[in-house]
Amino acid sequence: MDTAAAEWTTTPGDTPPRRRGRRRFGIGCGGLLLAAVSVVVGCRIADSDGITPVPQLLAFLPWLLLPTGAGLLLALLARWWTGLVWGLVVLGLLAWFIEPYGKSDDPGGAPVASFRVLTSNVEFGRATGALVGAVRREKPDVVFVEECEYGCQATLKDAFDTVYPYRQAVEAGGSEGSVILSRFPLKGTDGVPGTMGMPGAVADVRGHAVRLQLAHPMPPLPGQLGLWRRELGRLRDFAAGDGKAPTVMAGDFNASQDHAAFRRILDTGLRDAARLAGSDRTPSWPARTAPTLGAQIDHVLVSADFSATRARFLDLADTDHRALLVDITLHITPHQP
Contact by Cβ (8 Å): 182, 166:
yes
In a domain, 227, yes or no: yes
Task: Share the mean pLDDT of the chain.
Answer: 93
In a domain, 251, yes or no: yes
Task: Calculate what percentage of the chain has a pLDDT beyond 90.
Answer: 87
Same domain membership, residue 134 and residue 172: yes
Contact by Cβ (8 Å): 331, 110:
yes
Q: What are phi and psi of 86, to 5 degrees?
A: -55, -50
How large is the average pLDDT for residues 217-234?
97
Neighbours of 8 (CB within 10 A): 18
pLDDT of residue 335: 57
In a domain, 307, yes or no: yes
Question: Secondary structure of the chain: what % helix, strand, coil (to 5)?
Answer: 40, 25, 40
Same domain membership, residue 297 and residue 191: yes
Of 47, 65, 98, which residue sits at a domain end? 98
pLDDT tens digits, 168-188:
999 999 999 999 999 999 999
pLDDT confidence bin for 5, thresholds 50/70/90: very low
Same domain membership, residue 21 and residue 82: yes
Counting DSSP H helices and E strands in the chain, the numbers are 10, 12
pLDDT of residue 6: 47
Q: Could you give the number of structural domains in the chain?
A: 2
Same domain membership, residue 127 and residue 81: no
Report the distance separating Cα 307 and Cα 298, nearest Å: 18
Same domain membership, residue 190 and residue 115: yes
In a domain, 173, yes or no: yes
Q: DSSP labels for 22-60?
A: HHHHHHHHHHHHHHHHHHHHHHHHTT---STTHHHHHTT
Same domain membership, residue 165 and residue 206: yes
pTM of the model: 0.91
Contact by Cβ (8 Å): 304, 244:
no
Indicate whether 330 pLDDT > 70. Answer: yes
Indicate whether 4 pLDDT > 50. Answer: no
Indicate whether 243 pLDDT > 90. Answer: no
Same domain membership, residue 179 and residue 89: no
Virtual torsion, Cα 148, 149, 150, 154, nearest 10 deg: -20
Encoded amino acid at 292, one letter: T
Of 65, 98, 131, which residue sits at a domain end? 98
Same domain membership, residue 204 and residue 271: yes
Report the distance separating Cα 151 and Cα 126, nearest Å: 9
How large is the average pLDDT for residues 54-64?
96
Same domain membership, residue 292 and residue 163: yes
Helices (DSSP H) in the chain: which residue ranges? 2-9, 16-45, 54-58, 65-77, 81-98, 128-138, 150-160, 225-241, 260-266, 273-276
**DSSP bridge pairs for 312:** 325
Same domain membership, residue 142 and residue 94: no
Of the candidates 152, 136, 93, 142, the residue with the CA atom closest to the CA atom of residue 117: 142
Domain residue limits at 159 = 110-332
Same domain membership, residue 75 and residue 23: yes
Report the distance separating Cα 114 and Cα 177, nearest Å: 28
Q: Which of 12-21, 28-37, 112-121, 251-260 has the lowest mean pLDDT?
A: 12-21
Q: Which of 91-105, 141-155, 318-332 has the lowest mean pLDDT?
A: 91-105
Of 98, 129, 147, which residue sits at a domain end? 98
CA 108 to chain centre: 26
Same domain membership, residue 137 and residue 162: yes
In a domain, 149, yes or no: yes
CATH number of residue 134's parent domain: 3.60.10.10
In a domain, 103, yes or no: no
Q: Which of 6-15, 93-102, 142-151, 235-244 has the lowest mean pLDDT?
A: 6-15
pLDDT of residue 108: 85
In a domain, 70, yes or no: yes
Indicate whether 148 pLDDT > 60. Answer: yes
